[in-house]
A and B are shown apart, each in its own frame.
Chain A
Amino acid sequence: MSKRKTDRLLHLVVCLLATRRYLSAAQIRQAVPGYPESDEAFKRMFERDKEELRELGIPLEVGAEDGDELGYRIPRQEYELPDLHLSPDEAAVLGLAARVWQRASLAEAASGALLKLRAAGVETDDAAPLGIEPRVDTDEPSFPALWQAVRDRNPVAFTYHGVGSTGAARRRLEPWGVVSRYGRWYVVGYDRDRAGRRVFRLSRITGDVVADGPAGSVTVPEGVDVRAIAFDWGEAPAEPRSATVRLGKGAAQGLRSWARNLRDDGPDWDLAELSFRETERFAQYLARFADHVVVLDPPDLREAVIQQLKRALT
């Protein structure tokens, strides 16, 4: 069954590539073996075949010679992979890039691409160029659907539970791009309900991502840089301020690496300056160093740390 179908599709491709003129469905039916007798059945099968060729990325051109009925052909120009001459080091790098993706969708796409490039004569071996073994994991369950939506410019809807909210909410998004930074995945786009740009972290999406409109209906605005949007945290944070802190001798290494003006302050302590922007956030960060850090100044930061520590006792 499947062999007959492959055989028919192969004939169809060869036939449509070989022709310069558009071939009508009737002509195709004569040239390609394996189509059924009944007109109705032929029509249905031919429709499915065309769809399968398109899914493989085979460009099917529809047109007509003067006065003729509508026909089909595959333009060679658009079918063929252009010549690609790679030096051995370039081929090795390409081979490495094809092994980066670890899971389904893109891993399959990468090996499919590599096969075509090999077919074009590129020799990739198992050499390890660059001196690094890179891997990118796309194990977020929502990744395949979101990438597909971005690729096909398809609006989507999903359920999202953001940090700080008391419940999950349905979100409708025109997705512009999928971005990963330091192993975390985000989708960027236009939120239809909030009427503005939004960024969603994939790990906070629950359940399925579903289409919410036709493919091709998302327009990514001119000049949009999805990477820049994903990591633009909105309003500019407050002006930096300086804090004076005591650091336990030999302790608080995580602060010492960026502290300024580190100096001695008796047998048990050092003094240092740290710069910060948001008092609350910085107090949370400092609290984790427990009794290895004491804030001397400014008073509001000192008070915030005291409050933060007290919360751990309640």
Chain B
Amino acid sequence: MTGTSTERLARLLALVPYVMNRPSVAVDQAAGVFGVSEKQLIDDLNLLWCVELRAPDPYCPIDLSYEGGEIIVSEAESISRPLRLQVDEASALLVALRMLADIPGLRDRDALSRVIAKLEKAAGDATSAAGRLSVQVDGGGDMTTLVRQALDLGRRVHLTYYVQGRDENTERDVDPMRLLLVEGQAYLEGWCRRAEGVRLFRLDRIADLKILDVAARVPAEAEPRDVEVGLFQPSPQDVRVTIELAPRGRWVADRYPCESVEELGEGRLRVVLRTRDTRWLRALGLRLGDQGRVTGPPALVAEIHADAERALALYGSP
């Protein structure tokens, strides 16, 4: 959209049918829905009311009033219906709906398919581009159903949760708070009674989930995570790890949130990551092989060497 005058025109064209399609609309209510001040909304109404075509005969097609704070549109023949959806608008909704329809175990799934069908019909030609944009997520499979059940029942769960960084299965009781979909993955957010804090659990790493016969009790101080700022939130106590990557190891920069990425020429990269627990980086060091090497801090480099030596000893290799 270019500039404010077209944005405003779009609002004016939606405002009239918005009012006409409801038995009663207050000025402040409409201002809230359209995200403008009451003064701005009254300005809009005045603009509409003043529409006058001068030829062939002078004529005012729109009649409205807002006396006492209630908007009444008594005449607006030509713009009484909203403008149809643009390609971007139809695509944004359809792609989101189709993504949601792919996730098993959600409530209201039949409402999803009904609304997709209705929207496709209403949007007409504007839907064709939506097929060229697709978002596929890991909705967590059968685990979604179980998590949803626990949330609906308001019950505590026992999790066997795989912590990839440490290659460990952990056991813990969790009071579920909500089911989230972030960065293409489904997560259970809950109060972890072992950690005594709010934690996110990726559904595909929950090895087992039992719904306990105990009501979930989420403490009042439990704050939902602000996923707006990203799932990975480094802290000042984190270790700074430097890795130098060969061209074939460049995928590391895609996969992990890096504090800095520096081109070293010939396709080589130097990346710096921050992490609380370096165990996963020891594993990464071994996995990289000739795709790259961890170059700091020295303690981590030494650990990776020691890991490789112990492993090689088992093969009877020096």
Contacts and interface: CB of A to CB of B under 8 A. Distances in A.
Interface of A: 2-3, 5-7, 9-11, 13-15, 17-18, 27, 30-33, 52, 55-58, 76, 78-87, 89-90, 92-94, 96-98, 100-102, 105-110, 112-121, 129-137, 147, 150-151, 161-167, 176-184, 201, 203-204, 220, 226-227, 251-254, 257, 284-285, 287-292, 294, 302, 305-313
B267 interface: yes
Contact of B10 (A76, A112, A285): A112
Interface string B248-263: 1111011000000000
Contacts of B308: 290, 309-310, 312-313
Contact of B286 (A76, A201, A288): A288
22 contacts: A2-B8, A5-B5, A10-B51, A32-B54, A33-B52, A55-B2, A81-B85, A81-B122, A82-B121, A115-B14, A130-B106, A130-B107, A177-B132, A178-B132, A178-B134, A180-B184, A182-B136, A183-B185, A254-B167, A285-B287, A290-B307, A291-B313
Contact of A119 (B14, B249, B293, B304): B14
Interface string B274-312: 000000001111111110010000000000110111111
A94 to B, nearest CB: 5
Contacts of A294: 314-315
A266 to B, nearest CB: 14
B118 A287 contact: no
B212 interface: no
B84 A121 contact: no
Contact of B133 (A115, A177, A313): A177
B251 to A, nearest CB: 5
Given A80-B83, A134-B100, A284-B288, 11 more contacts: A6-B5, A56-B9, A81-B81, A82-B122, A93-B111, A97-B97, A132-B103, A132-B181, A183-B137, A291-B311, A313-B305
Given A116-B85, A119-B15, A119-B21, A311 B179 contact: no
Given A56-B10, A119-B21, A2 B4 contact: yes
Nearest to B183: A183
A278 B75 CA distance: 72
B283 A120 contact: no
B48 interface: yes
A119 B12 CA distance: 11
A130 B147 CA distance: 13
A178 B91 CA distance: 12
Nearest to A177: B132
Interface residues of B, number: 127
B88 interface: yes
Interface of B: 1-6, 8-18, 21-22, 33-34, 47-48, 50-56, 61-62, 77-79, 81-93, 96-97, 99-100, 103, 106-109, 111-112, 114-115, 118-119, 121-122, 124, 129, 131-138, 144, 148, 151-152, 162, 164, 167-169, 178-186, 207, 227-228, 247-251, 253-254, 266-267, 282-290, 293, 304-305, 307-315, 317
Contact of B136 (A57, A97, A181): A181
Nearest to B124: A82
B5 A9 contact: yes
A287 B136 contact: no
Nearest to A15: B53
A187 to B, nearest CB: 10
Contacts of B290: 311
A100 B96 contact: yes
A203 B269 CA distance: 15
A79 B83 CA distance: 6
A85 B21 CA distance: 12
A164 B314 CA distance: 32
A85 B87 CA distance: 21
A119 B88 CA distance: 18
B3 A132 contact: no
